[in-house]
């Protein structure tokens, strides 16, 4: 490990955001020394707050309002925004981050956008590592926000201590056919833009559906917000803190940690796999009449 990197973990723990940003880049791009850096971190226990939901639900506006209230309480917060698209396509994501421009120079907030790096809408192993780098710093809360496409909606529950699903009244009758994945991962439902037409009916239908599904010690709350007016944000923070205080997920932590470990192990083991060479080999070997895929793959298993 580079002797300069040895000093980073303590500096990151003390709140050096410049080194934190550089450490994330080193881990994200697998620059030499990244593995040693990860192993040297003292990872903290700041709660990770997951926010997901369909595009247009106002997630970034709501997160912005929540960040503002947390900062008013004198706390430190990090926001990790997951971009499911190419890292070269900054359009919508950049627009979302502009809404948080007022916080960029605040010494108590850290904002970073990361790409899923081709994981087909899910959360890559890199996101796991990046979150752990951030948790090695001195934050009171860490937010992970996804656009809510593909597997990212469900996978976020494996990373977050509290998962909030943000919906809007325009979802209409979709609430009756809401996919089970969202119903299973949500610890909190938030109906944003609740000043729009049909919001009360949508809110009532969602609340009825959630209470029919709920069968645990935590009664999943359904909250109303108007994020651009900063209405209902205090209630969101209260419910998040209430959930954290109950420590409901403590029994699941080992299982979630096992899943994280499995994903990281898989990522490490296939890192050196040459896809081009595999394609060439398969193209050649599959022409043989006696070709058997399982026999062919045996060479990669050991």
Over the stretch 179-237, which tens digit does the pLDDT of each residue have? 555 667 788 999 999 999 889 988 998 888 887 765 567 889 999 999 999 999 999 99
- If you average pLDDT over residues 81-104, what whole number do you get? 57
- Entry pTM: 0.81
Q: Could you tell me if 291 and 255 lie in one domain?
A: no
Please report which confidence band the pLDDT of residue 266 belongs to, taking 50, 70 and 90 as the band edges: confident
252 shares a domain with 118: yes
Supply the pLDDT for residue 293: 85
Q: What percent of the chain has pLDDT over 70?
A: 76
Q: Are residues 22 and 49 in the same domain?
A: no
Q: Name the pairing type of β-strands 162-167 and 141-145.
A: unpaired
- Residues 223, 84 share a domain: yes
Lowest mean pLDDT segment, chosen from 147-156, 176-185, 266-275: 147-156
Tell the residue number behind the tokens 């943000």, with chain if given.
166
Please report whether residue 13 resides in a domain.
yes
Element (H, E) at 26: helix 17-28
Sign of CA dihedral 296, 299, 300, 301: positive
Mean pLDDT of the chain: 81
Give pLDDT, residue 90.
42
Are 145 and 155 found together in one domain?
yes
Q: Is 74 left (phi over 0), alpha (psi -120 to 50) or beta?
A: left
Q: Domain of 282?
A: 275-301
Separation of alpha carbons 66 and 162, rounded Å = 14
Q: Is 114 domain-assigned?
A: yes
User: Which contiguous run of DSSP H or E holds residue 277?
Assistant: helix 275-285
Is residue 267 scored above 60 in pLDDT?
A: yes
% pLDDT > 90, the chain: 36
What H or E segment, with its residue span, contains residue 219? none
Assess whether 26 and 77 both reside in one domain: no
Structure token pair of residue 163: 């998962």
Flag whether 284 is in a domain: yes
């Amino acid at each position: 490990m580079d002797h300069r990197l040895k000093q980073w973990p303590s500096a990151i723990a003390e709140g050096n955001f410049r080194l934190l940003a550089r450490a994330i880049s080193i881990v994200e791009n697998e620059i030499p020394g990244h593995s040693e850096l990860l192993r040297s971190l003292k990872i903290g226990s700041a709660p990770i707050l997951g926010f997901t939901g369909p595009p247009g639900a106002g997630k970034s506006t709501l997160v912005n309002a929540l960040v503002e209230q947390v900062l008013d309480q004198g706390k430190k917060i990090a926001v990790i925004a997951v971009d499911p698209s190419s890292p070269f396509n900054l359009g919508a994501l950049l627009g979302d981050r502009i809404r948080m421009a007022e916080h960029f120079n605040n010494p108590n907030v850290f904002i970073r956008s990361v790409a899923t790096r081709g994981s087909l809408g899910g959360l890559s192993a890199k996101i796991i590592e990046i979150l752990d780098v951030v948790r090695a710093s001195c934050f009171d809360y860490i937010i992970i926000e996804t656009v809510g496409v593909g597997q990212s909606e469900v996978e976020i529950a494996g990373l977050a201590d509290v998962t909030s699903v943000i919906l809007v009244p325009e979802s209409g009758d979709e609430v009756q056919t809401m996919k089970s994945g969202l119903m299973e991962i949500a610890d909190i439902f938030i109906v944003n833009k609740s000043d729009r037409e049909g919001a009360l009916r949508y809110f009532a239908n969602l609340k009825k559906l959630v209470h029919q599904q709920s069968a645990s010690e935590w009664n999943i709350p359904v909250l109303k917000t108007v994020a651009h007016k900063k209405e209902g944000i205090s209630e969101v923070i209260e419910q998040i803190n209430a959930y954290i205080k109950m420590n409901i997920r403590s029994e699941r932590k080992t299982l979630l940690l096992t899943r994280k470990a499995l994903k990281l192990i898989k990522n490490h083991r296939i890192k050196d796999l040459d896809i081009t060479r595999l394609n060439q080999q398969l193209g050649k070997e599959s022409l043989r009449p006696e070709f058997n895929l399982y026999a062919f793959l045996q060479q990669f298993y050991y």
